[in-house]
Structure 1
Amino acid sequence: MIRFSLKKASQLLGKQFQAFSTQQNLIEIFIDDVPHKVDPSATIFQACYSAGVIIPRFCYHERLAVAGNCRMCLVEVEKSPKPVAACAAQVAPGMRILTKSEKTRIARGGVMEFMLANHPLDCPICDQGGECDLQDISEQYGYGDSRHNEYKRAVEDKNFGPLVATSMNRCIHCTRCIRFSDEYAGVTELGTSGRGRNTEIGTYIDKMITSELQGNLADICPVGALTNGPYAFTSRPWELKSYDSVDVFDTIIPLIQIDTRGAEIMRVLPRIHEEVNEEWLNDKSRQAFDGLKKQRLTLPLARDAQGNFADLYWPDAIQQAAKKLQSVKGEEIVGVIGEFADCESIVALKDLLNRFDSDNFEIRGTGVPQLDADFRANYLFNSRITGIEEADVLLLVGTNPKIESPLLNSRILRATRKNNLKVFLIGPANDLTYNYVHLGNNASILDEIANGTHPFAARLKSAKLPMILTGAGVLERVDGNAIHNALKKIAQNSPVINAQQGWNGFNLLHKDVGRINALELGITARRSSVPPKVVILLGVDNNLNAQDIPKDAFVIYIGSHGDEGAYYADLILPGATYTEKNGTYVSTEGRVQTTKLVALPPSGAKSDWEILRALSEECGCALPYDSLEEVRYRIAELAPHLLKYDYIESSVLGQVALKPESSKQTISATPFRDLIDNFYMTDAISRQSVTMAKCSTAFNPHKFSTFKQL
């Protein structure tokens, strides 16, 4: 579990202190009589870790503010009358620090004795067993006998919601959960009450924690007071096998670790990536995996004349689909790309349609054509996620990053506090966990800013590194082209585009990775004027409109769940999910990542590209690849940068691409609307998740689980 073992802490601190060795004003200190050069702004704790000396701690966390209340990091400092808390004391020239002296050992042992005085003997039944910092540190510093004979205190457990299970008797008051909630989640619901033995951590007024990042509380808790609720009592860490993969629910594509026992996924945890998700994960990405095994499609299905589905053998299903494709003209075939479609599947679909002389693709559920794939700067998060930490002005247009990308919103929150980032919003006035200036909810305000008649235009021009962040749902409006052009004009007339400083603050936040993958492969949404007679839905389960699919059209659905897309289907071909295949995905900032095959798909289901490959052979136009490696060679022909994993290919034509296009369309006065009704249930997988259903009931009891139509 990402609980900052000593090895992981050393890796993180090593990165933080790489800059120290390049500075000229280093000072010399002595750690256990060994001289070391360190930065004068470092604490004793940081200096020791940079020197490879490990110091135990509970309350200290590399990303949180220093609390200094556990005292486990006590060290002996020469000429100091008593041990010093290493996490809160700054180094000084010539300082002599002793981390292995007898005085240090006794001090730490005393702290450990006080901690264990009230800690229950729960190790055999505690979910933290095997991953507990208290267990590990007490093994070295704990005494064999305790001198405390008093009864252990008893604290009532709290109800934080369905994601975080509590056992407050184990709490050691490190306050990591409080600091994380305030600094990263942006909610001030957690705090302490009482003093001494009566101290408790909770919400004071009995309530659940309302944050999309609350699952991280279980990760940072050093003991078993806060644990992963859905995972509780299901397995032990030594029973699990871990796989490194990425998450596709969030379009920034956080890195994750998937733990399995046999063929079953037991839990999902974050992995460290400083430029993307640091070490955090949103609750849907962490807990929606149980929807992977609910209501799965395991056999091909065909709709009969009465509207009922009947099972088919794979050869019969492929033969039926091939006959339909061969019976129509190429211009009458349309391929619709879904929200979780990987690059391999999209390439196979593109090549198959091209064999029939069709280039009709839809990469949204709505029929409004937007986003040209010719220029990447038009549809990417050009400043990168880390650019939020550099910007001084941020304009949010028609987006709610708190529920569209909670990890991205957390970055904005910290930038407002640490870098004095000023946030302005055009759209619904939602709670974003930080202060912002609401400019209104009228799309025509963008025209005023572009023409320089709005007061914010002057504020934007005076900024050094301003940024515009637009929600992808904005461009799905009927006036999406006009809005896009207005945003481009604003970017060109202000330092949002600053070539001298290499700054491009024109950013788009996508809602699904399938659209990004299609655009990166050069696929732009287009349809012929001829009504389609065959529609291929590649994992499409959101924003499907009945009027976009003619009643007489034959619909082939390739997907993993019997969700919305299956309702329109005449033929269903069961596919694989992101944990059941090796797939290539591109994040909203253009970073290429790959998922890993963690568990085989259910019996009868196949990888999407394999289904399309088999279909092409039955049609007599076999695609020229038989393995994953060959598919990726084909991807390299279309977009070579998609084989550069964990890398962002720069958009050298950014300024040219952002020039407004000639258009007679005007922006309507229709206000922006929230894209997502319910954060916990937005797609085919999360809608089948029992855990997400519990969260939806607990946190959004009056909302529906769907995307709103714009």
Structure 2
Amino acid sequence: MPKLTIDGSEIEVENGLSVLQACEQAGIEVPRFCYHERLSIAGNCRMCLVEMERAPKLIASCAMPVGEGMVIHTDNEKVRTARENVMELLLINHPLDCPICDQGGECDLQDQAMAYGGDKGRYAEEKRAVKDKDFGPIIRPFMTRCIHCTRCVRFTEEVAGTADMCGTYRGDFTEIGTYVEKAIETELAGNLVDLCPVGALTSKPYSYTARPWELKKTESVDVFDAVGTNIRVDTRGNEVLRVLPRLNEDVNEEWLADKGRYAIDGLKAQRLDRPYVRKDGKLQPATWDEAFAVIAEKLNGLDGSKFAALAGDMVDAEAMFALKSLADALGSKNIDCRQDGAALDASKRASYLFNTTIAGIDEADACLIIGSNPRWEAPIINARLRKRYINHGFVPAVVGENLNLTYKTEHLGETADVLQSILDGSNAYAEVLKNASKPMLIIGQGALVREDGAAIMAAAKEIADKYGFVVEGWNGFNVLHTAAARVGGLEMGFVPSEDGMDTAAIANGGAEVIYLLGADEIDTSKLSNSFVIYQGHNGDAGAQCADVILPGAAYTEKDGSYVNTEGRMQYGYQATFAPGEAKEDWTIIRALSEVIGKTLPFDNLIQLRAKLAEVSATFANPEEIQAAAWEDFGSKGDIAATPLCSPIANYYMTDPVSRVSKTMAQCTEALINPQQRTGTNG
């Protein structure tokens, strides 16, 4: 470990660090524009110049490795003058857009010009202008502001894996853009706005909306997939204006998928803001008392076996637990949280968790993907797989659709019977798994929702056992979920007992009264003979078939807990109030239980969470992943020789919120429809 002296203080650092990183460890700030911790070194901006004794000139600290005995000066006259000169050069062509720029108030260029720039400019010639380009419905570019830091270029190439951005021309004519003007084709495009230090790339849906100091910031969790991405919800008044990622190295690092970032305008469309009751074949506005009275009349004397409940994909754990408690009180065993009918056994935790953990991907040296498109099902996890592919060089193998996952893959075949050839060793990839020290597999919902899903699960379990996927300190068996509520529901046992009805039976009209808690992904065409209670926040499929509608709160409008695909429980906090007469979901169910004479044993959120913690240690230990015991699961049987495919046909429209989002509709038109016309999916 080399020792060096920085501004008179000796410090010992690890080998391989740059001088800039060493300065940060010493608590010394070094300005920079092009340098970013998660991107390769570019050395473009020269803002990080420092003096190194015995060097003929100032050095770019981001690109200089530390060495034994180095003596670094970061704040002498020579360095200060250099920084002023660099800042002056950067501002030569930068327009005076600050009063109208969306980056104002959180702009690195503003901050560093104030801290390190001079007090006057000497450039009198006309500023260069660059024609604005069309980057699609998410990014609004103002390329005259660009300082050529190339963060965007490196992000699309290294993290997103699409290489959409590039630099063209040279010298004073250099421009950053796409090779051919087109929409940026990545599900992580919104991160370019966060990375851009100067406001050259801004958020198109958020343009000219607010200044950062006007916004109230609330920590929460993204519910548009099962990754559990940590987010910050920015609101003004009672309106959600933007969503940004929060740093969590174990989950999302500092990235956020586009749907979680930009589908929020769907929270303002088709909202259910008051109760409704169907009268004479039409839904009519009603009061809460009227709605509860109609439900109570229907439930009065009803046998528990004729009541069923389904939980949707974006529901918080508290609401699901309240509904499960209500079903138990009514004597019903007909409950399910698996809207898609996936073959998941709630009694065997290892069979439904991403056991490797998301951060554990960084240790894997082989990966088998079965019936999944992680690029659309979990873009953040896909970015982790690409990161491992780049850093380690492992090439994942795919059984299913041959898609562009942004990294090189080995396509073993489209049909599920390929798994048998891996098991018997006749497939060449079996040798790769055999020689791997930490192999992992990812089985997606595309494999589990099939009729032979349990048999595919059993085959995947056999592969894991045969090739040493599970050893001391390592479990390489992973299920990739697509629903934020799914693992929480499985943890609390929101599934039918042996003689209870599952989703298929319930959706087939098997119950006299059906309670849909945000459940919109089922076929509702066969529910006409059932009395349907729908509780949710957007008027989607469930509301259309309902006899009573109870307006609930969206994820930004309530305190709730969510368990991600790896079994990590995290809290989301209320950022705004629900519109109109809508209420928090668990409070609706608690109030209904009192009306029907089945009062639930909790009166507030603290009491409810205490009951929930008794059910599973997962709910008692936020942010801690409870290890799952490795045991037998799945059901051996015949596997059909039919292609495996992801259940997601359109990444931008998968739930009641994104389906009514204007931005997601624009993304579908710009990014999905052209791909369908050309027959590609990536």
**Counterpart residue number, 2:321:** 347
Pair 1:308 & 2:293 matched? no
Tell me how many residue pairs correspond in the alignment.
668
Q: What is the CA distance between 1:200 and its match in structure 2?
A: 0.4
- Of the three residues 495, 512, 530, the one matched with 1:533 is 512
User: Contact between 2:455 and 2:634, CA under 8 Å: does it hold in 1?
Assistant: no
Pair 1:591 & 2:563 matched? no
**Counterpart residue number, 1:108:** 83
Cα pair distance change 1:350/1:269, threshold 3 Å: same
Q: What is the CA distance between 1:365 and its match in structure 2?
A: 3.0
Alpha-carbon distance between aligned partners in 2 of 1:661 and 1:89, rounded to the nearest angstrom: 54
Q: What is the CA distance between 1:369 and its match in structure 2?
A: 6.7
- How far does the alpha carbon of each residue in 1:35-59 deviate from its partner, in whole angstroms, 9 at most, with x for none? 2222242211111110001110110
Deviates most, 513-522 or 140-149: 140-149
Cα pair distance change 1:662/1:670, threshold 3 Å: closer
- Of the three residues 194, 213, 221, the one matched with 2:196 is 221
**Counterpart residue number, 2:72:** 97
Amino acid at match of 1:517: G
Q: What is the CA distance between 1:545 and its match in structure 2?
A: 4.7
Amino acid at match of 1:567: Q
Q: Which runs of 5+ in 2 are unaligned?
A: 677-682
- How far does the alpha carbon of each residue in 1:124-158 deviate from its partner, in whole angstroms, 9 at most, with x for none? 11111111111111112222222222211010011
**Counterpart residue number, 1:129:** 104
Pair 1:418 & 2:391 matched? yes
- 3-state secondary structure, aligned to 2:16: coil
- How far does the alpha carbon of each residue in 1:370-425 deviate from its partner, in whole angstroms, 9 at most, with x for none? 21111210100000011211111100000000111111111111111111122100
**Counterpart residue number, 1:68:** 43
- 3-state secondary structure, aligned to 1:694: helix
User: Contact between 1:29 and 1:94, CA under 8 Å: does it hold in 2?
Assistant: yes
**Counterpart residue number, 1:455:** 428
TM-score by length of 2: 0.96
Amino acid at match of 2:195: I
Pair 1:479 & 2:452 matched? yes
Alpha-carbon distance between aligned partners in 2 of 1:294 and 1:137, rounded to the nearest angstrom: 40
Poorly superposed stretches of 4+, deviation over 4 Å: 660-663
Pair 1:685 & 2:657 matched? yes
**Counterpart residue number, 1:503:** 474
**Counterpart residue number, 1:147:** 122
- Of the three residues 522, 546, 556, the one matched with 2:533 is 556
**Counterpart residue number, 1:430:** 403
Q: What is the CA distance between 1:541 and its match in structure 2?
A: 1.0
Alpha-carbon distance between aligned partners in 2 of 1:703 and 1:571, rounded to the nearest angstrom: 40
- 3-state secondary structure, aligned to 1:477: coil
Cα pair distance change 1:39/1:365, threshold 3 Å: closer
- Of the three residues 587, 597, 614, the one matched with 1:610 is 587
- Of the three residues 114, 130, 141, the one matched with 1:166 is 141
TM-score by length of 1: 0.92
Amino acid at match of 1:670: T
Q: What is the CA distance between 1:691 and its match in structure 2?
A: 1.1
Alpha-carbon distance between aligned partners in 1 of 2:228 and 2:385, rounded to the nearest angstrom: 17
User: Contact between 2:414 and 2:643, CA under 8 Å: does it hold in 1?
Assistant: yes
User: Contact between 1:544 and 1:565, CA under 8 Å: does it hold in 2?
Assistant: no
1:15-414 superposed matches below 5 A: 26-305=1-280, 307-366=281-340, 368=341, 370-414=343-387
Alpha-carbon distance between aligned partners in 2 of 1:543 and 1:445, rounded to the nearest angstrom: 30
Q: What is the CA distance between 1:515 and its match in structure 2?
A: 1.8
User: Contact between 2:551 and 2:583, CA under 8 Å: does it hold in 1?
Assistant: yes
Q: What is the CA distance between 1:250 and its match in structure 2?
A: 2.0
Deviates most, 27-36 or 624-633: 27-36
- How far does the alpha carbon of each residue in 1:419-438 deviate from its partner, in whole angstroms, 9 at most, with x for none? 11221000011111111110
Q: What is the CA distance between 1:196 and its match in structure 2?
A: 1.4
Amino acid at match of 2:483: D
User: Contact between 2:446 and 2:644, CA under 8 Å: does it hold in 1?
Assistant: no
Q: What is the CA distance between 1:450 and its match in structure 2?
A: 2.4
Pair 1:669 & 2:641 matched? yes
Amino acid at match of 1:518: G
User: Contact between 2:444 and 2:646, CA under 8 Å: does it hold in 1?
Assistant: no
**Counterpart residue number, 1:543:** 522
Pair 1:624 & 2:596 matched? no
User: Contact between 1:74 and 1:86, CA under 8 Å: does it hold in 2?
Assistant: yes
- Of the three residues 612, 632, 641, the one matched with 1:635 is 612
Q: What is the CA distance between 1:325 and its match in structure 2?
A: 1.6
Determine what percentage of the aligned residue pairs are the same residue: 47
**Counterpart residue number, 2:679:** none
Alpha-carbon distance between aligned partners in 2 of 1:525 and 1:391, rounded to the nearest angstrom: 35
User: Contact between 2:333 and 2:496, CA under 8 Å: does it hold in 1?
Assistant: no
Pair 1:700 & 2:675 matched? no
User: Contact between 1:288 and 1:686, CA under 8 Å: does it hold in 2?
Assistant: yes
- Of the three residues 470, 488, 492, the one matched with 2:461 is 488
Deviates most, 637-646 or 605-614: 637-646
Alpha-carbon distance between aligned partners in 2 of 1:684 and 1:239, rounded to the nearest angstrom: 29
Q: Which runs of 5+ in 1 are unaligned?
A: 1-25, 705-710
Amino acid at match of 1:534: V
- 3-state secondary structure, aligned to 1:474: helix
User: Contact between 2:441 and 2:476, CA under 8 Å: does it hold in 1?
Assistant: yes
User: Contact between 2:524 and 2:541, CA under 8 Å: does it hold in 1?
Assistant: no
- 3-state secondary structure, aligned to 2:485: helix
User: Contact between 1:259 and 1:266, CA under 8 Å: does it hold in 2?
Assistant: yes
- 3-state secondary structure, aligned to 2:217: strand
Alpha-carbon distance between aligned partners in 2 of 1:81 and 1:369, rounded to the nearest angstrom: 66
